[in-house]
Structure 1
Amino acid sequence: MTAMPEDREKGMKSGFPSHERDLFDDDDVKAAPDKVIARRFGVLGPYLAKLFDHGVEARGVERCPEDQREDQHFWNNLLMWWSVNACLTTVPIGILAQTLFTLTFPHAVACILTFGVIGAALCSFIATLGPQTGLRSLMISRFSVGHIGGTIFSGLNILTQLGFATSAVILGGQTLAAINPGTLPLAWGCVIIAVGSLVPCFVGYNMVHYYEKYAWVIAYFIFIVLYALGGKAGYDIGAQKALENSGTDYVASVLSFGSIVYGSFGWGAVVADYNCKLPVNTSPHKVFWMTFLGLYIPICFAEILGAALITITAPAYVAAYGDGNAGQLLAQVLSPWKGGGKFLLTLLALTNVANNIPQTYSAAISIQALGRPLALIPRFFWCLVAFALYTTAAIVGREHFSLILSNVLSVLGYWTSIFVIMILEEHVLFRRPSGRLRGYNLDDYDSPTKLPLGLAGILAGCIGAAGAVLGMSQVYYTGPIARTIGSSGADIGWELALSFTGVSFPLLRTLEIRFTGR
């Protein structure tokens, strides 16, 4: 699948784009990326070389050739996503079922389990392409939408990862500030979470995997404690029954909350970033199921926890949540353990570091993927830029966590649906061995003249975006189709984006291949 035989041999010669081969002779192209980058920066080269010698990853968007892959166990893929999603940020998503959409606990659980399957499955498919191609998710998309289309996706992903990172930092900061109210300012709590997220991302791929391999253990222990203490405080799963919408308004609530749940599985644009160094012969089935379980189980587990905790009707718990402070609610749940509860709350806040790491790392990769000039600058520099941007945004918007979270997750679901369906259809319809293109010439990933022209992908993406606009239901806009469901509208933007793109892309791509041959 990964390439035609003669092209695979070409791909193994170099993981560097064609412009690199113009800048350096053949021996240098074959060298490790740390040496290439060090030479590129002249007087700064020796300092960069020292960073690379101390373990900082040099490789950015460049393809990882087959002969430079690391023989990591595929279980690392499961543990990676297990830790990323077993975190504090995932819990408030379940809370939104009641606070924004009036759903009772059983209906919230049904939404989480159902929409979660769809999101996890689509994301896990993209993961299987990482080992097969040696490319990051956004670079894989270039074989579907061309260089220009890939650049558009890169820009969208930068905004998405920064939005996710901002919400993670705010919630972590809220929780730290709630440990001893009045002691730690919320802004400083945000800074602590942001700084903790930066270090593994700065070092790179191996450090990210090492951290995520173990981070989930503490998170799951705390989640179990929260489930138990919440039960002691008294879950009231029927508390929302009298307030739950009925008829078409109920349908609208289910679809809108389902859209947020689906968006919480929106790692498709980055998931291949973390397994592109696995051996090319790694079983796609194993990669799929390890990724699926690593996404589905922890996300559902944490979101259901949030949906359960918000059903506690004791006045102290209701007052703690107030106007949307999930950190204070969690502090109240752990309060019976006194000092031990505060210690666990501190650890729980720090679990957001695990969630924020891939957002920081992949934001840097996405910046490089915008174009060659940015790709020439080392990946770790862009990690610093991303860190500065989302830390500033978190401090400025620290009082609006719920609004930021719900909007980011919904919009994420729109464009990632377009992204995933085009890559899936390109792979299944056109790149299979018996398809029109008969595989991938992996050495062309950064050669605009050899990649698809991109008109089919861009036009299909616009058609999908039109579907999203027709079906979206946000504070700032409700589409005409969305308005037909319930009195306030239902968010079906991702479903329409997926459908519109899924129908139009194969037709347009067939025409593009017929007239251009690529």
Structure 2
Amino acid sequence: MSNSPDLSLEDKEKGSFGEHIPVQPRVLEVAPDDVIVNRFSFMGPFLSRLFAVGVEARGVERVPEDQRETKNTWNNLLMWWSVNTVLTTIPIGVLAQEIFTLTLPHAIAVIFCFGALGALMTAFIATLGPQTGLRTMIITRYSSGYVGCTIYSILNILTQLGFSTTCVILGGQTLASINPGTLPLVVGIIIVGIGSLIPCFIGYHMVHHYERFAWMIITIVMLFLWGLGAKAGFDINAQKSIEDTGKSLSSDILSFGGIVFGSFTGWSPVAADYNCRLPADTPPIKVFLLTFFGLFIPICFVEILGAALMTITKQDYVDAFADGGTGGLLGQVLSPWKGGGKFVLFLLAFSVIANNIPNTYSAGLSIQALGRPFAMIPRFFWTILCFVIYTVAGVAGREHFSAILSNFLSILSYWTAFFIVIVAEEHFIFRRKNGALGGYNLDDWDSPKRLPLGIAGVLAGMFGVAGAIVGMAQVWYIGPIGALAGTEFGADLGFELAAAFAAVTFPPLRWLEIRYTGR
């Protein structure tokens, strides 16, 4: 890629909340597909055909303003609605009773409160996409340098692969439960994995096209589940006799809250990936609100559904959950419709594809963000590799879905909390109009000598890890503060302390870094 900056375009554009961000100088860019074809000349004809039929060539490279062809900001709302109105969201609500024995009113309160906090933080990250034209992991280079970006990218790769693994397991379980004994679970997992791969292989526009419509049918399906569940009989006091009290109840609420928070902020490391092609002058408040409601409404709607289904006390439903987990329970809920219910279960099984698409697509981008050697390999190659990894992991862990989900989402909330805090403080303190740096030099996105060293960001992240360790409460480890806050099993304060430790340490460390390095 060759750059010829036009220095006459150095005016400032207003950023997300009043700060000013330098407009990227106009560049003459060699088309990404030409770069890849020339780099891998032995595969030139094959690659040219791929790009000609619409496969996305651009990876983590910045999208210049004159190539922001996407203008429909409402896609932001529809995409997140499709991504989260899926089968995969239901088990998160199920955990409220399965693991923490919370009554339905307490589960709803936790989902609303911790969900709102998580949606706010993720929606902020989404606003940075149109302003910078960069993918989320590349944006971290402006607060944590090349090294920090590499660390975050590794964490995000593990996050997206973890999400993908839970997706294919649950989708496979549901397919296998339609006609028990006819479709092996392993085959179901592979089918769901392949369905997720196809749009991601093609790229950004196909991802948005699929997600623009996927929500329609599955939203109706979720309404069916609400109706059938109500007919079977929701009992809001079903867990009343086994729910903890006092300090133990507080512990359950905090621990489940961490899982809910993680289900929202799990999208923060990829939130800017799906609107970096919007025009730079797109109103950030519009992006913020559409992302917030695109996350908050469907996730709450579906997680509360999962919690409500666990209040059905009829023995057939209890046995179905004990034998087949969430997929078995849903099969029982739909059983009154006989063949029609099996068709709905089929739709539910394939709804996880909408959830798994951004996991797969962004995992490939995060591999490219590890550094230039990885960025040189076409994005779609890494997408295929991710598909292979999480499908194999899903097959290996198919019998331990609930344990994988609860532990994974809790740990996920720890690093996303301090990641968001560090990016936000860089944005609002140091990159604001009158801040120490006065904006983003967007030409520097891949220039290690011009980006921050990353000392402040990495150290603040390490303090965030320390906060998570002392505050966490997992089956395999309970931190000292987490132990004090709870009873026998502790209370999970991991994400709260991770965010607090990073928030306190990053500003002074970053100020020192700027003072002595100038960047």
TM superposition score category, shorter chain reference:
over 0.9
- Aligned partner of 1:499 in structure 2 is 500
1:13 to 17, 27, 41: 27
- Aligned partner of 2:283 in structure 1 is 283
- Aligned residues of 2:10 and 2:24 also touching (Cα < 8 A): no
Mark the CA change 1:272 to 1:243 in structure 2 (over 3 Å): closer, same or farther.
same
**Cα deviations across residues 432-464 of structure 1 (Å, max 9, x unaligned)?**
111110000001011111000100000000001
State yes or no: 1:95 paired with 2:132.
no
State yes or no: 1:201 paired with 2:195.
no
- Aligned residues of 1:4 and 1:438 also touching (Cα < 8 A): no
Query: Normalising by structure 2, what TM-score?
Result: 0.95
Q: What is the CA-CA distance between 1:215 and the residue it aligns to? A: 0.2
The 3-state SS of whatever aligns with 2:171 is helix
Where does 1:44-443 land on structure 2 (aligned, <5 Å)? 44-265=43-264, 266-322=266-322, 325-443=325-443
The 3-state SS of whatever aligns with 1:435 is coil
Q: What is the CA-CA distance between 1:485 and the residue it aligns to? A: 2.0
Distance, in Å, in 2 between the alignment partners of 1:10 and 1:467 is 37
- Aligned partner of 1:26 in structure 2 is none
Q: What is the CA-CA distance between 1:97 and the residue it aligns to? A: 0.3
Instruction: Please tell me the residue identity of whatever aligns with 1:447.
Output: S
- Aligned partner of 1:485 in structure 2 is 485
Gaps of 5+ in 1: 15-29
**Cα deviations across residues 12-48 of structure 1 (Å, max 9, x unaligned)?**
305xxxxxxxxxxxxxxx2211111111111112211
Distance, in Å, in 2 between the alignment partners of 1:496 and 1:330 is 37
Instruction: Please tell me the residue identity of whatever aligns with 2:189.
Output: C
- Aligned partner of 2:17 in structure 1 is none
Q: What is the CA-CA distance between 1:9 and the residue it aligns to? A: 6.6
The 3-state SS of whatever aligns with 1:12 is coil
Instruction: Please tell me the residue identity of whatever aligns with 1:231.
Output: A
Q: What is the CA-CA distance between 1:492 and the residue it aligns to? A: 0.8
Distance, in Å, in 2 between the alignment partners of 1:387 and 1:154 is 17
Distance, in Å, in 2 between the alignment partners of 1:509 and 1:302 is 40
Distance, in Å, in 1 between the alignment partners of 2:420 and 2:324 is 32
Instruction: Please tell me the residue identity of whatever aligns with 1:503.
Output: V
The 3-state SS of whatever aligns with 2:464 is helix
Distance, in Å, in 2 between the alignment partners of 1:361 and 1:329 is 31
Give the RMSD, CA atoms, in angstroms. Answer: 1.2
Q: What is the CA-CA distance between 1:486 and the residue it aligns to? A: 2.3
- Aligned residues of 2:101 and 2:244 also touching (Cα < 8 A): yes
- Aligned residues of 2:200 and 2:206 also touching (Cα < 8 A): yes
- Aligned residues of 1:135 and 1:272 also touching (Cα < 8 A): yes
- Aligned residues of 1:71 and 1:279 also touching (Cα < 8 A): yes
- Aligned residues of 2:24 and 2:64 also touching (Cα < 8 A): no
Distance, in Å, in 2 between the alignment partners of 1:269 and 1:329 is 32
- Aligned residues of 1:179 and 1:331 also touching (Cα < 8 A): yes
**Cα deviations across residues 384-410 of structure 1 (Å, max 9, x unaligned)?**
000000000000000011111111111
Mark the CA change 1:46 to 1:463 in structure 2 (over 3 Å): closer, same or farther.
same
**Percent identity for Structure 1 against Structure 2:** 62
Q: What is the CA-CA distance between 1:5 and the residue it aligns to? A: 3.3
Gaps of 5+ in 2: 1-8, 13-20
Where does 1:37-48 land on structure 2 (aligned, <5 Å)? 37-48=36-47
Distance, in Å, in 1 between the alignment partners of 2:23 and 2:198 is 36
Q: What is the CA-CA distance between 1:71 and the residue it aligns to? A: 3.3
- Aligned partner of 2:509 in structure 1 is 508
- Aligned residues of 1:60 and 1:375 also touching (Cα < 8 A): yes
- Aligned partner of 1:466 in structure 2 is 466
- Aligned residues of 1:13 and 1:65 also touching (Cα < 8 A): yes
Instruction: Please tell me the residue identity of whatever aligns with 2:26.
Output: M
- Aligned residues of 2:33 and 2:51 also touching (Cα < 8 A): yes
Mark the CA change 1:503 to 1:4 in structure 2 (over 3 Å): closer, same or farther.
farther
Q: What is the CA-CA distance between 1:317 and the residue it aligns to? A: 0.3
- Aligned residues of 1:324 and 1:401 also touching (Cα < 8 A): no
Mark the CA change 1:215 to 1:10 in structure 2 (over 3 Å): closer, same or farther.
closer
Instruction: Please tell me the residue identity of whatever aligns with 1:496.
Output: L
- Aligned residues of 1:84 and 1:355 also touching (Cα < 8 A): yes
The 3-state SS of whatever aligns with 2:44 is helix
Q: What is the CA-CA distance between 1:70 and the residue it aligns to? A: 1.2
- Aligned residues of 2:36 and 2:378 also touching (Cα < 8 A): yes
Mark the CA change 1:276 to 1:452 in structure 2 (over 3 Å): closer, same or farther.
same
Query: Normalising by structure 1, what TM-score?
Result: 0.95
Distance, in Å, in 1 between the alignment partners of 2:25 and 2:82 is 33
- Aligned residues of 2:468 and 2:493 also touching (Cα < 8 A): yes
Instruction: Please tell me the residue identity of whatever aligns with 2:494.
Output: G
Instruction: Please tell me the residue identity of whatever aligns with 1:325.
Output: G
The 3-state SS of whatever aligns with 1:481 is helix
Q: What is the CA-CA distance between 1:213 and the residue it aligns to? A: 0.2
Q: What is the CA-CA distance between 1:324 and the residue it aligns to? A: 6.4
**Cα deviations across residues 51-85 of structure 1 (Å, max 9, x unaligned)?**
00000000000000001101321000100100000
- Aligned residues of 1:421 and 1:498 also touching (Cα < 8 A): yes
- Aligned partner of 2:16 in structure 1 is none
Q: What is the CA-CA distance between 1:225 and the residue it aligns to? A: 0.4
Number of residues of Structure 1 aligned to a counterpart in Structure 2: 501
Distance, in Å, in 1 between the alignment partners of 2:10 and 2:217 is 45
Distance, in Å, in 2 between the alignment partners of 1:408 and 1:382 is 23
Distance, in Å, in 2 between the alignment partners of 1:374 and 1:76 is 30
- Aligned residues of 1:4 and 1:439 also touching (Cα < 8 A): no
Instruction: Please tell me the residue identity of whatever aligns with 1:250.
Output: L
Q: What is the CA-CA distance between 1:8 and the residue it aligns to? A: 5.5
- Aligned residues of 1:4 and 1:441 also touching (Cα < 8 A): no
- Aligned residues of 1:115 and 1:261 also touching (Cα < 8 A): yes
Instruction: Please tell me the residue identity of whatever aligns with 2:287.
Output: V
Instruction: Please tell me the residue identity of whatever aligns with 1:32.
Output: A
The 3-state SS of whatever aligns with 1:39 is helix
- Aligned residues of 2:130 and 2:276 also touching (Cα < 8 A): yes
- Aligned partner of 1:18 in structure 2 is none
Q: What is the CA-CA distance between 1:10 and the residue it aligns to? A: 5.7
Distance, in Å, in 1 between the alignment partners of 2:271 and 2:486 is 35
- Aligned residues of 1:456 and 1:508 also touching (Cα < 8 A): yes
Distance, in Å, in 2 between the alignment partners of 1:105 and 1:325 is 19
